[in-house]
Amino acid sequence: MLNRLLITLSLLVTGNLLASTTLTAIDAAFERGELSQDESILNKVYLFLEPELLDDRFQEFEPEIIKCGTPILIEYEALQPVLTETTINIIEDLLLPSSSGLREIFFSPGGHFSFNYSTTGIDAVPAADTDASGVPDYVEWAAEYLDYTWAQEVDSAEFAGPNHVGGDGFYNVSFEDMGAYGYCTTSSVDGSELTRLVLNNNFIGFGANQDPDGNVKGAMKVTCAHEFKHASQRAESYWSEGGWVELDATWAEEFVYDYVNDSMLNILGYGDPYSHPHWGLDHGTTGTGSYEDYAWEDFMHQKFDANSYTTAPILEDFWNWRQNHTTQDVMNSYAQAISHAGSSFIEAFEEYVVWNFFTGSRAVTTGDVSQFGYDDAGIYGYPTAALAVIHNSYPASASVSGIENLACKMIRLSTLNQVGLEIDFDGQDGVEMSAMWAIRQDDNTVDWGSIELDANNNGSVVLDVRDASMAALIPVVTQLTGSSYGASYTIEQNSLAECDPGNVNDDDYIDVSDLVRLVAIILGNGAAPNDIELCAADVNNDDQINVQDVVSLVDLILQ
């Protein structure tokens, strides 16, 4: 059991840090027995805190900047019972608040934070002091951004605040030269704090974002929101959620600093629901979400909380629940919160995949304003979900496979010159599955729903696409476990002809003349029937035209 736990934690970190080349190599070496558990965690910590100490075999990789060092430190904390005292001492020394250079202390105007910073040495923050306050602008920015983050996450949304009782009476933050945006740690805390934050000391060389104040300020803003959410999580449930803590902290970036879009530009494209919609929400051996899945909580917040930038009731409910349910599977905790919001997990997930379809180049916008789904669905840089199949002509017949639990395949249907499309769906037997359809209308509205499926996941629907610019079929696996499911389907043109069954000659009367025409149609005599005649000739509505319809029509005439 312990070995399985350690392997899970190790894989969790690698998955969380966006397929880091070095981390992947470290885990592979550990799995091959080339590294001990101590050597493995040491090299992971070295990666972002002391890269020059990395084992020689990992020095060959290009220097990497990881999004967040916290998952590695969560793994370290969990591994401590099996690590040697020497390893623990090395890591704890690396986690000691830096004492190099000329140290200064600054207290945030909001009264919550104490900043320990250096003006000289390797950990020094940029020296610019444009307001001549005696405090570097960089430190004042951090104070402003964390004060604002506290106001949004704690005061407004009512997530738990970190404990900053005892010691100097403030929640402690410092700055370091490191290969990460930042981290939240339980080591070397002040007083009775559960955690403290460490931010990068310059944010130079990080990925681009969309902050109008520039990349450095944007990176610092989202790091404050992200790492502070880790501090809140620790206070809520002691990081009992595995990789989901990264999903949640990344969502917090959107909640506090929506316009920065650092995660959108630097995380999406690595196994997220747009690049890999067929991968489950909890894809991978660890069975958790991570950074790249933050759209799930963004959907929950925008759907159930009206995308508020001041409150987040559904996610507050989730974290309140987690306080007393730390051993519960996180997916079930999400389901609990969604049920409290008046829906169900399956209904929410069905709508989630439809939102994901209408993003990027398929976003429904008027000007720059999204008309359906995510508020950012159509902004520059938002990804377009990958398609499994595109159908441009009909009839069409195809199948899809390889769908994991809580995942889907996206199929685009051309509606050009089409009146109606009839979809016959055949999902894999014995699987909890839905078949979603969606239509983007010419007036920039979206109609969507699900095909009613029987016990064998079979069903059909006719879509009216006369006024549509595109349509979609999205097979969805809604069960919480398993992988590699599939479905087949056929799509045919449909005239959408409206008729009165039995009124075969369309004269508004049902009489012997209709019977004569019905018999002619069955025998293939006379003029070829039009769509309305064919519709009315199926008197008993069994999708066939035969002698049974003659019997049904005689009964109607004799009534």
pTM: 0.88
pLDDT band at 497 (very low <50, low <70, confident <90, very high): confident
466 to 297, 462, 470, 497: CA distances (angstroms)? 35, 12, 10, 12
pLDDT digits (tens, 9 = 90+) for 21-58: 888 899 999 999 999 999 999 999 999 999 999 999 89
Helix H, strand E, coil C: the string for 399-413 is EEEEECCCEECCEEE
- Predicted confidence band of residue 191 (pLDDT cuts 50, 70, 90): confident
Tell me, what's the pLDDT at 166?
77
**Claim to verify: residue 8 and residue 79 sit in the same structural domain:** yes
Domain boundary among the residues 94, 124, 151 is at 94
Residue 102: pLDDT band by 50, 70, 90 thresholds?
confident
Last residue of a domain, one of 464, 494, 524: 494
Report if residue 41 sits inside a domain.
Answer: yes
Query: How far apart (Å, rounded) are the C-alpha atoms in residues 454 and 500?
Result: 28
The CATH number of the domain where 195 resides is what?
A: 1.10.390
Mean pLDDT calculated for residue range 528-547:
89
Rounded Cα–Cα distance for residues 504 and 16 (Å)? 64
pLDDT for the residue 26: 93
- Mean pLDDT, the chain, rounded, equals 93
Residue with token string 């987690």? 322
213 pLDDT tier (thresholds 50, 70, 90): very high
Q: Reduced to 3 states, what is the DSSP secondary structure of residue 425?
A: strand
pLDDT at 495: 87
Per-residue buried b or exposed e for 153-174, using 16+ beta carbons within 10 Å of the residue's own CB:
bbebbebbbbbbeeeeebbbbb
Mean pLDDT lowest among 26-30, 60-64, 89-93: 60-64
pLDDT-derived band at 284, boundaries 50, 70, 90: confident
Whether 132 maps to a domain, the answer reads: yes
pLDDT at 286: 74
Q: What pLDDT shows up at residue 240?
A: 96
Q: Are residues 387 and 419 in the same domain?
A: yes
Mark whether 87 and 105 lie in a shared domain.
no
Percent of the chain with pLDDT over 90: 82
The whole-angstrom distance between residue 388's C-alpha and the CA centroid of its chain comes to 19
**pLDDT exceeds 80 at position 12:** no
Per-residue confidence (pLDDT) for residue 167, from 0 to 100: 81
- Which of 310, 345, 380 is the last residue before a domain boundary? 345
Per the listing, tokens 């899970």 go with 8
Residue 156 falls inside a structural domain: yes
pLDDT given at position 179: 94
Written as one string, the DSSP assignment of 248-301 is HHHHHHHHH-TTT-HHHHHTTTSS-TTT-TTS-TT-STT----GGGTHHHHHHH
Q: How confident is the model at residue 383 (pLDDT cuts 50, 70, 90)?
A: very high
One domain for residues 254 and 274: yes
Same domain (yes/no): 366, 385? yes
Q: What is the CATH number of the domain that holds 393?
A: 2.60.120.380
Mean of pLDDT values over 181-194? 92
Q: What average pLDDT does the segment 319-348 reach?
A: 97
The answer to whether residues 391 and 456 belong to one domain is yes
- Computed on alpha carbons and rounded to an integer, the radius of gyration of the chain in Å comes to 30
| pLDDT of 165 over the 80 cut | no
With 50 as the cut, is the pLDDT of residue 13 above it? no
- The one-letter amino acid code at 327 reads T
DSSP symbol at 478: -
Structure tokens at 204: 């130079």
Over residues 480-492, the mean pLDDT reads 94
Please indicate, yes or no, if residue 351 is contained in any of the structural domains: no
- 531 domain-assigned: yes
Give 468-478 pLDDT, tens digit per residue: 999 999 999 99
Q: Residue 545 domain-assigned? A: yes
Residues 257, 317, single domain; the answer is yes
**Same domain, residue pair 459 and 538:** no
Whether 173 is in a domain gets the answer yes
Q: Side chain identity at 477, as an amino acid letter?
A: V
Inter-residue contact 388 to 276 (CB < 8 Å): no
Check the CA dihedral 93-94-97-101 and report its sign: positive
Q: Considering its fold, how many domains does the chain have in total?
A: 4
Mean pLDDT of 329-338: 97
- Residue 18 shares a structural domain with residue 65: yes
CB 72 within 8 A of CB 204: no
pLDDT at 14 over 80: no
Those residues whose C-beta lies under 8 Å from the C-beta of residue 143, and which sit 6 or more positions away, are: 106, 107, 108, 109, 110, 113, 115
CA torsion, ordered 262, 267, 268, 273, to nearest 10 deg: -120
Q: Tell me which of 385 and 59 has the higher pLDDT.
A: 385
For residues 427 and 319, state if they share a domain: no
Range of the domain at 22: 2-94
Whether residue 336 is contained in a domain is answered as yes
Residue 384 has pLDDT above 60, yes or no: yes
Same structural domain, 105 and 90 = no
Q: What digits encode the pLDDT tens for the residues 245-262?
A: 999 999 999 999 999 999
- Confidence class for position 193, pLDDT limits 50, 70, 90: confident
In the chain, the amino acid numbered 128 is A
pLDDT at 1: 41
Residue 291: name the closest of 336, 351, 331, 244 by CA: 244
pLDDT tens figures, 70-87: 999 999 999 999 999 999
392 and 302 within one domain: no
